[in-house]
Amino acid sequence: MMPLEVENLTFAYDGRSVLRGVSFQLMPGEVLGLIGPNGAGKSTLIRLAAGFLRPDRGTVRLFGRPPAHWPPRQLARWVALVPQGAYIPPTFTVWESVLLGRTPYLGFLGVPRQPDRAATRRALEWVGIADLSERLVGELSGGERQRVLLARALAQEPRCLLLDEPTTHLDIHHQVAVLSLIRRMAVECGIAVLIVLHDLNLAATFADRLVLLVDGMLVALGDPKEVLCRERLTAIYGDTVAVFPRPDDGGRPAILPRIGQGNLPAQGRIT
């Protein structure tokens, strides 16, 4: 059963078209990167996939069924979400915040049992914040808070992870650590990962396949080398980027900034 199937997905906010006819599939054990310029509809796509929004046309299916057709508890055991910069009350401790990920498993009166505490501890260690577990969320840095959100999602022990920019506020060491962890989860545990990434180099390095959204349309889908080719990036970002194949990583593309005119090409040229 496919973790996520998106078919001809079309969505508009108050008549303003955000997504137009997007189709792709997310397979088990795969890291699928969702990239595109600002306002391309990446976050909206994640929110549709999580079931917060209903498609205007087309379908979203998680493990074979539209999100709204799943009992919420059941869905939360299979699909976890890391929202972008989401709010956690500052008076919660890190431990309490991550333990919330066990919500779909808790029984009578919400008392956490041994497996719940074990999963919470594991998630804290994976993400590298075990030493913060007694700290209050209000005292954390932005990067630490972002990792709390990721740990909470991992504590859900999901089969599918939806991540919206999980590496914002992180320095490069932690970006790489977090994304390596996510890759390992996919490869070793067979978790399907849909991840919105703003940084094209991170996307090129850590994703198996990429979905490139521009202006609500799926412009390219496939291997990072093909999706992030020089012609296409120049068409989208103009003369502000340079693309090189990396000698150290099987020719995956490296994208570097370049002093350019900053003129964006006309939309018609993007295909």
Partner 1 sequence: MHSSNSSEPSHPNLFRQRRWLFLALGVGLLLVTATLGFAWGAVSIPPGVALRIVGHQLGQGSGPTDWPPAWETILLQIRVPRVVLAGLVGITLAVAGAVYQALFRNPLAEPYLIGVSSGASFGATLAIVLIWRLGRSGWSGVSLAAFVGALLATAAIYGLARVGGRTPVTTLILAGVAVNTLLSAATVFLMFSMQDAFQAMHVLGWLMGSLALADWEKVQVILPYILGGLAVIAWHAHSLNVLQLDEEQAQSLGVAVERTKGILIVAVSLATAAAVSVSGTVGFVGLIIPHIVRLIWGPDHRFLLPMSGILGAVGIILADGAARTLFAPRELPLGAVTAVAGAPFFLYLLRRQKREIF
Of the candidate residues 2, 12, 27, 136, the single one contacting partner 1 (CB under 8 A): 136
- Which is nearer to partner 1, 43 or 240 (by Cβ)? 43
| Segment interacting with partner 1 (CB under 8 A) among 29-37, 77-85, 200-208, 219-227 | 77-85
Reading the block at residue 136, the tokens are 């209050």
Per CB under 8 A, 87 contacts partner 1: yes
Task: Say how many C-beta atoms besides its own lie within 10 A of residue 98's C-beta.
Answer: 30
Per CB under 8 A, 106 contacts partner 1: yes
Q: Provide CB contacts within 8 A for 73, sequence distance 6+.
A: 104
Per CB under 8 A, 111 contacts partner 1: yes
Task: Say how many C-beta atoms besides its own lie within 10 A of residue 54's C-beta.
Answer: 11
> Which secondary-structure segment (H or E) carries 151?
helix 142-155
Q: Residues 24 to 53: which contact partner 1 by CB under 8 A? A: 47, 50-52
Q: Provide CB contacts within 8 A for 12, sequence distance 6+.
A: 18, 56
Per CB under 8 A, 91 contacts partner 1: yes
- Which is nearer to partner 1, 39 or 90 (by Cβ)? 90
CB of 142 to partner 1, least distance (A): 9
CB of 151 to partner 1, least distance (A): 13
Residues 130, 124: contact at Cβ < 8 Å? yes
Residues contacting partner 1: total by CB under 8 A: 38
Taking the C-alpha atoms of residue 117 and residue 8, their distance in angstroms, rounded to an integer, is 41
- Which is nearer to partner 1, 8 or 141 (by Cβ)? 141
